Amino acid sequence: MNPTANARRLRRDQTDTEKELWRALRAGRFAGFKFRRQHPIQNYFLDFYCPAARLAIELDGSQHGFPEQQQDDKQREQFLASEGIEEMRFWNRQWRENREGVLLEIWHALQRRTGCELIVRKPQNNRFVPPKQSQIKDASRSQADSCSR
């Protein structure tokens, strides 16, 4: 099967957690960043890929806990790193239990890799609007204050 046909099959056969994350990322809805789904790169298919940030997002099920799969995942991560692509992995359970935390972590990686907080591209479509820097600093300050008590 050619890569395009395989990518189409993978898009059609997405898991429920992949569908849910795709709803948050698709069509520039995630702070204006554009993502692709099941993007082929050589022998690999990236669950979600942001070309502007060269960032891949993977949602992993229980099969990724087995040693053989972990070794394959490590080789894949090394290959992607050699191509200048950072890979972020989240367990399906993480997504189900802490969606806002996962989205915030993705946004931090996008910001770190691009230097952009928000891409102004149809802001009315944005489903995820990142917090303002002052909110992050205030929250981390208050958290530090509460930790030191």
Number of domains in the chain: 1
Higher pLDDT, 10 or 77: 77
Q: What is the mean pLDDT of residues 2-10?
A: 66
Tell me the two tokens of residue 41. 């790169």
Lowest mean pLDDT of 26-35, 88-97, 124-133, name the range: 124-133
> Helix, strand or coil for residue 43?
coil
67 against 148, higher pLDDT: 67
Tell me which residue of 94, 115, 122, 97 sits closest to 34, measured CA to CA: 122
User: Largest alpha-carbon pair distance within the chain?
Assistant: 60
- Residue 126 has a pLDDT of 55
pTM of the model: 0.72
Which residue type occupies 53?
A: A
CATH of the domain at 122: 3.40.960.10
Residue ranges of alpha helices (H) inside the chain are 3-12, 16-25, 67-82, 92-97, 99-114, 133-148
Q: Looking at per-residue confidence, does 55 or 61 come out higher?
A: 55
User: How many whole angstroms separate alpha carbon 44 and alpha carbon 97?
Assistant: 28
Domain limits at 50?
3-148
pLDDT at 123 over 90: no
By the 8 A CB rule, do 121 and 28 touch? yes
**Residue 2 in 3-state DSSP?**
coil
pLDDT value at position 60? Answer: 83
The answer to whether residues 77 and 87 touch, using CB atoms and an 8 Å cutoff, is yes
Q: Which residues contact 26 (CB under 8 A, 6 or more apart)?
A: 35, 37
Q: By percentage, how much of the chain surpasses pLDDT 70?
A: 67
Residue type, 88: M
